[in-house]
């Protein structure tokens, strides 16, 4: 079986991929994640997922490499990882009472294969008071999450609804699509 590599150091993606019970290693891709001028959020997620997989695959010929990226999309504007408490506060204020689309792309690069899939998750944030935002940020500290919300923990309390055909996509790695791409690369999680 070829080596399986996750082109990410994200603990969230590592935890998700571990659910498939395939042995894998994780490697940083060192890809510049800056959006191109005028680049739409979905296009950015797809470009970065493929670039991450290709960067690691170039270092590990013969391996099956998974790259993934997630971008929050608010009315066509990219909402990235906040990095700081102040930016997270501003993001959550903007998203309060609104629908945000989380664009999550996954790519698999292997010998003879470079394929990509995208999952779209529609998230409706409830109306959020400044006190609720502050309490959430102090509790969860989601500064490394696109859109400032960890739905796998307390961030679920920020939401009214989540709509998706791939529930793990919102956490950062759409496993249904990942499984389909891995099968195309010759790896069957159920084998």
Q: Quote the CA–CA distance of 1 and 182 in Å, as a whole number.
A: 12
Question: Which residues, listed in sequence order, are joined to residue 121 by a DSSP beta bridge?
Answer: 102
Residue 79 lies in a domain: yes
Could you tell me how far CA 130 lies from the centroid of its own chain?
A: 26
User: Residue 191's pLDDT band (boundaries 50, 70, 90)?
Assistant: confident
Residues annotated as part of the active site: 69
Q: What is the CATH number of the domain that holds 125?
A: 3.90.950.10
So what's the pLDDT on residue 97?
A: 98
Residue 165 lies in a domain: yes
| Per-position DSSP letters for 115-152, written without gaps between them | EEEEEEEEEEEPP--HHHHHHHHHHH--TTSGGG--TT
**Cα dihedral 19→20→24→30 (10° resolution):** -70
Residue 191 lies in a domain: no
Residue 130 lies in a domain: yes
Residue 40 lies in a domain: yes
When divided into structural domains, the chain yields a total of 1
So what's the pLDDT on residue 114?
A: 97
> pLDDT, tens digit, for every residue of 101-143?
999 999 999 999 999 999 999 999 999 999 999 999 999 999 9
Domain boundaries, position 163: 4-184
Name 102's Cβ contacts closer than 8 Å, sequence gap at least 6.
Answer: 70, 71, 72, 73, 120, 121, 123, 146, 147, 169, 170
Residue 49 lies in a domain: yes
> pLDDT, tens digit, for every residue of 54-101?
999 999 999 999 999 999 999 999 998 999 999 999 999 999 999 999
Please give the angle made by the CA atoms of 71, 177 and 24, to the nearest 5 degrees: 90
Q: Return the percentage of the chain with pLDDT > 90, whole number.
A: 95
Residue 190 lies in a domain: no
Residue 164 lies in a domain: yes
């Amino acid at each position: 079986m070829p080596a399986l590599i996750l082109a990410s150091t994200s603990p969230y993606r590592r935890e998700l991929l571990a659910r498939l019970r395939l042995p894998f290693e994780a490697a940083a891709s060192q890809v510049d994640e800056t959006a191109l001028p005028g680049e739409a959020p979905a296009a950015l997620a797809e470009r970065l997922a493929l670039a991450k997989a290709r960067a690691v695959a170039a270092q590990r010929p013969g391996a099956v490499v998974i790259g993934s990226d997630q971008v929050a999309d608010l009315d066509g504007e990219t909402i990235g990882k906040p990095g700081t408490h102040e930016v997270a506060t501003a993001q959550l204020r903007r998203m309060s009472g609104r629908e945000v689309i989380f664009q999550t792309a996954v790519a698999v690069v292997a010998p003879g294969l470079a394929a990509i899939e995208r999952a779209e998750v529609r998230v409706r944030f409830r109306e959020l008071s400044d006190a609720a935002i502050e309490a959430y940020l102090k509790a969860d500290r989601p500064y490394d999450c696109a859109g400032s919300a960890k739905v796998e923990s307390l961030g679920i309390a920020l939401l009214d609804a989540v709509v998706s055909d791939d529930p793990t996509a919102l956490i950062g790695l759409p496993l249904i699509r990942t499984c389909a791409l891995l099968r195309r690369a010759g790896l069957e999680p159920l084998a």
